Structure 1
Amino acid sequence: MSLGTMNELKAHLPHSVTDFTEEILELESAIVLVIDRKVGVIGANSSFSTCLPFKSLKEFSTKHRDISELFVPTKGTLSAEKPFAWLFEVLRNKRKKHKVQMLDSKGKKHLFEVKVKEVTAEGKNLFIAQFDDISAFEKAKRAQKYFEEFKQKFLTSMSHEFRTPMNGIIGFVELLERTDTNRIQKEYVNLISHSAQTMMHNVENLLELAQIESGQIQINEQPTNIIELMESFSYEFCDEAKEKNLQLLFYIDPLLPYEVYADGNKIKKVLSNLVKNSIKYTNEKGQVYVEIRANATGKKGEIVIEYAVTDTGVGIDHNRLSTIIRPFASAKDNQSQGKDGLGVGLSVCYKLTEMMRSKLKVATEVGKGSRFSFSIKHASSNQSSFEFVKGSRIAIWAEDHYTILYSKLLKEYLMHFAIDVVEIDGLVNKELKHCDAVFIVTDHLSASRVKSIRAHYSNLQVVPVINPSLERKFARIDADVADILVKPLLPTKIYETLNVVWKKVPPELLKKVELKPQKAKKPLLDLTILVAEDNPINLKLIETLLSQYKLKVRTVVNGKEAVDSFDRKEQFDLVFMDIDMPVMDGITATRLIKEIEKRDGREHTPIIALTAHGLSGDRERIIGAGLDDHFPKPLDRAKLEQVLKQYLHLDIN
């Protein structure tokens, strides 16, 4: 010991605690003091002179009695109101981390964490105080906090500053695609569109992965209509699949409950990456099959749903299975195969499924394809999504081998709707005499052919199942058929078609149930949309898109102007609200608009956030602030039509 020799200390200590104290005083990483309240500091280890401005304990004792006299008062640290009072403060609150600040020999401030132990031996009370210098640790904590805040600001800024211009690029390219262009121009526009979409997808995955790695993403389970969510999701990839001449099929189990508790955005994110990968690695005329199935039921109020994506693509070599979930692991392979992608999509999928208490599974064979799946246990309602009617019999006929898959998918759907299904190999078939309807999967069906079928089977209803590109062509035979079922095949559309069939079947053959009322459709005329957007390019884009639906559009460039419009009692049917705007932001504007509506006793106008804030957690934050929905930029036509249908119940053709 350099200070207060052991012999000096032994004069103050009972023999029984001498060995214990000697061991403590040899600690070099922290200042260790032995304190007698009557005498003062009676012992210290070598760290005392190393850390504090005293060469010896004797030098300290000539000027001070209590170490607390050296404490530099600062917020959150122990004070020196009375000598030795700090000892009892530490002993009283042992679970709390107690800190003090003192100066070293150069006048530099150091932060110490204090621990105190009371020792009683042979009637003498002593205190062992340990001061750990945590200055470097606290500095590192502050640096880490600064870095995390900087990273979050960077991610937010990156997301916002990237999405804003990409909204203009993708949006106007889509508008350009609908104009009259020659063959070369159309090719160039398609290449721009593909490049922009690829960039958007890659950056979104990078931002998502960065958020996951930094622990900023949380699972937010909400009551969710899973069928509605998945049906909306199914439309996102139709154009992409069509470009590669792929069959993209969705099976969304009609037996799924009306509502489950789920983080729909995270589920969609995983499925989105899986579907994009399947489309990317599946060759022309291949198939991608997406399944959402009620896999099992647990105790009452619970259901296990399996989410799966299967393709007929190139498959994955088993030697690569252990590395495909590593970030950027497949980037080099993508480049060698002429594919886009940074190799982070599956990493995001793997981590998100883990967060949802699930596991991403893969079954694959080179040259034949892959199947990725995950299952989630959801709390659920007991209410069914559909009402089933037993007693009807329906035939299915597929026109050619390319439509066979749709025929098989349709059969599975109908069977789950409690329909007695029969597959036929031609439209002249004795089975049709015993059927209520025939679903014809076809690209060609004339009015004369329908009349010929009806001439042979007078009570048989005819339902063509067609590609969406043929809607206008088949509209000419609309009066001759019971209904037209447009792909993709989805449970709600099939149910609506079945309702048409059931209404024409003799009622004594069916077990009647009360059908759900359909919301009234509104015409596209005489509706006014308010758009609050400060970016002139994005403002022009959404104004152009809305005007194509013959909607009246009123535009403002900040939240205050939007509030003023409501204050002047202008009437709107829907509001698109940007969040980051000058003068007044969108969240503040929404709050004030709601106050005006309440003041004036007006019906609430739906306010949709149309914003570049698209990171995980932004949706929950924005909806929690009072907006009705959140649509991250870039906005495309499909998203826009989804909003118009959902909030204005518009019949868009």
Structure 2
Amino acid sequence: MELVNEVLDITQIENGQLRINSQPVNIPKLLDDFPPMLKQLQGDKKLNIICNQHDLYQKTLLVDPLRLKQIYTNILSNAIKYTPDGGSVTFEIYEELFLNNKYINLIAVISDTGIGMSQEYINHMYSKFSRATDSKINKVGGYGLGLSIVKELVDLMNGRINVTSKEGHGTTFKIIIPLECCAENYKALQDISDTSAHNTCKGMHLLVAEDNTLNYEVISELLAMYGITCDHAEDGSVCVEMFRESSIYTYDAILMDMQMPVMDGLQATSAIRNLNKPGAHSIPIIAMTANAFKDDIQRCLDAGMNMHMSKPVNMEKLLKALAKFKGEVIVDC
């Protein structure tokens, strides 16, 4: 039956008949289904299976729950199949706030300590019926259609999927899917008044990456007028190191200048997002730059920034952005 369903999915995709049926979905509730399902997939295998969900700012998102589950289940099923006894499988999921909070990136990282894959196999693993090993020899089930379907579904959702693997050392998949927030969530964020934004931001502590001392003094004085304190990073590399060494929740957001010596804002943002540290994936990073062309804004977002602001900074706009990113002003549907 599994093979029949997968062939039907592939046929629908190829014929352009497969549709994504988005609806409001409570993400934490959907994720609650995975631990018992993974236990069932594990069977008698002795594996350490870890499920970790964090930084889920928007609880309700518009998504096709069936297809989202299908994506994760296919990859998790492979991870369990190809990980021998004594190994581990980790399913991490979190959100990255997006440009205006109308959308977020839902990010899943699925890693295992299994047999891994060769680069040659990775190059064609999304082809139908591709398999890394002979199922008869390795005594694992499956028909090699799963990853092909996963790739097609991720593409249909305008997402992307990355993989790193080494033979004998395991595999890590990272699935990034942009999803629209529930309309009520977005409306609540849009309706934040100036007074509400000021009150929400009071007491915040920011990390400001700015190589020009005068510019830093100006922005720090403006922030202080609204009860916001900040620390100064003289360039991108200093910013990365200060965030790396800080305690969790030290900073509520990072204001990132784009043109700095040693390490620019794009490089610093990418380095922070790749840190193995709580909050590295989720701390709001706001670009501050004189460049406001569409390509410049897109480069900021591609590097992992949440928002782009032109210099000189509009304080009301900045305060509202900070208030939107702060968890207490994000409401559930």
TM-score (norm 2): 0.52
The corresponding residue for 2:22 is: 221
Do the aligned residues in 1 keep the contact of 2:27 with 2:60 (CA within 8 Å)?
yes
The corresponding residue for 1:262 is: 63
Specify the code of the residue in structure 1 equivalent to 2:152: K
Do the aligned residues in 2 keep the contact of 1:331 with 1:341 (CA within 8 Å)?
no
**1:438-489 deviation per Cα after TM superposition (whole angstroms, max 9, x unaligned):** xxxxxxxxxxxxxxxxxxxxxxxxxxxxxxxxxxxxxxxxxxxxxxxxxxxx
Specify the code of the residue in structure 2 equivalent to 1:279: I
The corresponding residue for 2:94 is: 293
The corresponding residue for 1:327 is: 128
Q: 2:102, 2:35 → 1: CA distance?
A: 27
The corresponding residue for 1:373 is: 174
SS of 1:228's equivalent in the other structure is helix
Q: Tell me the CA shift for residue 322 of structure 1.
A: 1.3
**1:252-301 deviation per Cα after TM superposition (whole angstroms, max 9, x unaligned):** 22533121111111110011100100000000011111111113332132
Do the aligned residues in 2 keep the contact of 1:308 with 1:371 (CA within 8 Å)?
yes
How has the CA–CA distance of structure 1 residues 242 and 347 changed in structure 2, closer, same or farther, with 3 Å as cutoff? same
Q: Which has the higher contact order (CA 8 A, sep 6+)?
A: 2
The corresponding residue for 1:188 is: none
The corresponding residue for 2:103 is: 302
Specify the code of the residue in structure 2 equivalent to 1:261: L
The corresponding residue for 2:79 is: 278
How has the CA–CA distance of structure 1 residues 314 and 218 changed in structure 2, closer, same or farther, with 3 Å as cutoff? same
Q: 1:300, 1:324 → 2: CA distance?
A: 34
Question: Which aligned pairs between 1:331-350 and structure 2 lie closer than 5 A?
Answer: 333-350=134-151
Q: 2:30, 2:146 → 1: CA distance?
A: 21
Q: 2:59, 2:45 → 1: CA distance?
A: 34
Q: Tell me the CA shift for residue 334 of structure 1.
A: 2.5
Q: How many correspondences in the alignment?
A: 188
Specify the code of the residue in structure 2 equivalent to 1:350: K
Question: Which aligned pairs between 1:71-90 and structure 2 lie closer than 5 A?
Answer: none
Aligned pair partner of 1:316 in 96, 99, 117: 117
Q: 1:255, 1:295 → 2: CA distance?
A: 8
Do the aligned residues in 2 keep the contact of 1:331 with 1:342 (CA within 8 Å)?
no
4+ runs of 1 displaced by more than 4 Å? none
Q: 2:51, 2:172 → 1: CA distance?
A: 14
Question: Which aligned pairs between 1:96-495 and structure 2 lie closer than 5 A?
Answer: 200-330=1-131, 333-381=134-182, 382=185
Specify the code of the residue in structure 2 equivalent to 1:237: L
How has the CA–CA distance of structure 1 residues 302 and 311 changed in structure 2, closer, same or farther, with 3 Å as cutoff? same
Q: 1:334, 1:322 → 2: CA distance?
A: 20
Q: 2:86, 2:142 → 1: CA distance?
A: 22
Q: 1:330, 1:218 → 2: CA distance?
A: 27
How has the CA–CA distance of structure 1 residues 331 and 342 changed in structure 2, closer, same or farther, with 3 Å as cutoff? farther
Q: Tell me the CA shift for residue 208 of structure 1.
A: 1.7
Q: 2:179, 2:129 → 1: CA distance?
A: 32
Ranges in structure 1 where 5+ consecutive residues have no aligned partner? 1-199, 385-414, 417-512, 514-653
Do the aligned residues in 2 keep the contact of 1:282 with 1:311 (CA within 8 Å)?
yes
Do the aligned residues in 1 keep the contact of 2:110 with 2:173 (CA within 8 Å)?
yes
Specify the code of the residue in structure 2 equivalent to 1:352: L
Specify the code of the residue in structure 2 equivalent to 1:297: F
Q: 2:59, 2:167 → 1: CA distance?
A: 39
SS of 1:243's equivalent in the other structure is coil
How has the CA–CA distance of structure 1 residues 332 and 305 changed in structure 2, closer, same or farther, with 3 Å as cutoff? closer
Q: 2:41, 2:139 → 1: CA distance?
A: 17
Do the aligned residues in 1 keep the contact of 2:157 with 2:178 (CA within 8 Å)?
no
Do the aligned residues in 1 keep the contact of 2:113 with 2:169 (CA within 8 Å)?
yes
TM-score (norm 1): 0.27
How has the CA–CA distance of structure 1 residues 266 and 299 changed in structure 2, closer, same or farther, with 3 Å as cutoff? same
Specify the code of the residue in structure 2 equivalent to 1:233: F
Question: Which aligned pairs between 1:573-588 and structure 2 lie closer than 5 A?
Answer: none
SS of 1:236's equivalent in the other structure is helix
Q: Tell me the CA shift for residue 317 of structure 1.
A: 0.7
SS of 1:346's equivalent in the other structure is helix
Q: 1:301, 1:332 → 2: CA distance?
A: 43
SS of 1:374's equivalent in the other structure is strand
SS of 1:362's equivalent in the other structure is strand
Q: 2:136, 2:7 → 1: CA distance?
A: 18
> RMSD of the TM alignment (CA)?
2.3
SS of 2:134's equivalent in the other structure is helix
SS of 2:57's equivalent in the other structure is coil
Specify the code of the residue in structure 1 equivalent to 2:60: E
Q: Tell me the CA shift for residue 372 of structure 1.
A: 1.1
Ranges in structure 2 where 5+ consecutive residues have no aligned partner? 189-247, 250-327, 329-333
**1:49-82 deviation per Cα after TM superposition (whole angstroms, max 9, x unaligned):** xxxxxxxxxxxxxxxxxxxxxxxxxxxxxxxxxx
Specify the code of the residue in structure 2 equivalent to 1:205: E
Specify the code of the residue in structure 2 equivalent to 1:373: K
SS of 2:33's equivalent in the other structure is helix
Question: Which aligned pairs between 1:20-59 and structure 2 lie closer than 5 A?
Answer: none
Specify the code of the residue in structure 1 equivalent to 2:103: E
Do the aligned residues in 2 keep the contact of 1:241 with 1:247 (CA within 8 Å)?
no
Specify the code of the residue in structure 2 equivalent to 1:280: K
Q: Tell me the CA shift for residue 311 of structure 1.
A: 0.5
**1:555-577 deviation per Cα after TM superposition (whole angstroms, max 9, x unaligned):** xxxxxxxxxxxxxxxxxxxxxxx
Q: 2:71, 2:174 → 1: CA distance?
A: 10
Larger of the two Rg values belongs to structure = 1
